[in-house]
Amino acid sequence: MISRLLTTDTYPPIVAPDLHAVRILVVGDVMLDRYWFGDVSRISPEAPVPIVRIEKREERLGGAANVARNAAALGAHCGLLGVVGNDEAGTQVEQLLRDSSIHSYLQRDEAISTIIKLRVIGRQQQLLRIDFEDAPTDTVLRDKLTQFNALLPDYDVIILSDYNKGSLVNVSHMIEAGRAAGKIVMVDPKGDDFSPYKGATVLTPNKSELRRIVGSWSSEEQLTAKAQGLRETLGLDALLLTRSEEGMSLYTATEILHMHADAREVYDVSGAGDTVIATMASMLGAGMPMADAIMTANRAGGIVVGKLGTATVTRAELFGS
């Protein structure tokens, strides 16, 4: 088996592909990210905590919606299938999708509230995060699976963005249907059991997610054996391990590709995995070779961690045009 280290110094320049014809369907846990920014000048007399005087508020697409936002920012045609509540936050998600030119297939669940992550930022540092979340009802999930099967012929690449919030209980059926239809099916996994992701094209765990499944490792050789064993067990074409400051490693049946992290100042890692999988999916959808797609995704991840909160990378930032 071939093992290669890919670097920007030794790898030939990657030509920017035309992404307008690439059609990506993102399915998963949809969230609304809310940011409250303020000034911190004193400690509360009631408890030893800072008082934040809120001066600005922002709302952004989160979870699977941030994956879709990243793909759309690169120029791909993107649709989002998920569940939100029949509430103000769900309406805001719909508006943000329209603003980002993402086709919405969201279903409203009367029984739940839209998932919200509220972050309080003081002096450019996250001080607190408050989560509001409910799992979708069985009836809405059945309707979602039916809609997924109906949408499948219209898209080339499927991204299943699992945040373990209950929207992807039918993920194994979606993977099976997608692969049977000849689609590229990529999964960002969560949880203690990866068996529902069996048969996907590419799985993209980070180090902590992989460690929960295969256990710890003490050497690169041991990591390779565990990663390849999991890839073979799940019948994956490839397993992409995102390794934070260590970069990325791609494991396939024929080779192992390692990439150092694109050296940048790390400001915020929120949503970096969303950017990586969205970029890789866009490049593969455009017919880019796997190695080129990984190098491009690695570069995108390096750019987005230099931005605050869930953010996107533009085509110009990636390719300079």
- Count other Cβ atoms within 10 Å, centred on residue 269: 12
What share of residues in the chain are helix, strand, coil (percent, to 5)? 35, 30, 35
E-assigned strand segments in the chain:
2-6, 23-28, 30-43, 50-63, 77-81, 83-85, 103-104, 107-109, 115-122, 125-132, 157-161, 184-188, 202-203, 238-242, 248-252, 255-259
Q: Which are the catalytic amino acids?
A: 274
| Amino acid (one-letter) located at 3 | S
φ, ψ of residue 153 to 5 degrees: the values are -65, -20
| 8 Å CB contact between 62 and 201 | no
Strand ranges, E, within 103-207: 103-104, 107-109, 115-122, 125-132, 157-161, 184-188, 202-203
With CA atoms as reference, report the closest residue to 59 among 93, 86, 90.
Answer: 93
Q: How many CB atoms lie within 10 A of CB 4?
A: 14
Q: How far apart are CA 213 and CA 193, in angstroms?
A: 7
| First-to-last C-alpha distance (Å) of the chain | 36
Per DSSP, the three-state class of 218 is coil
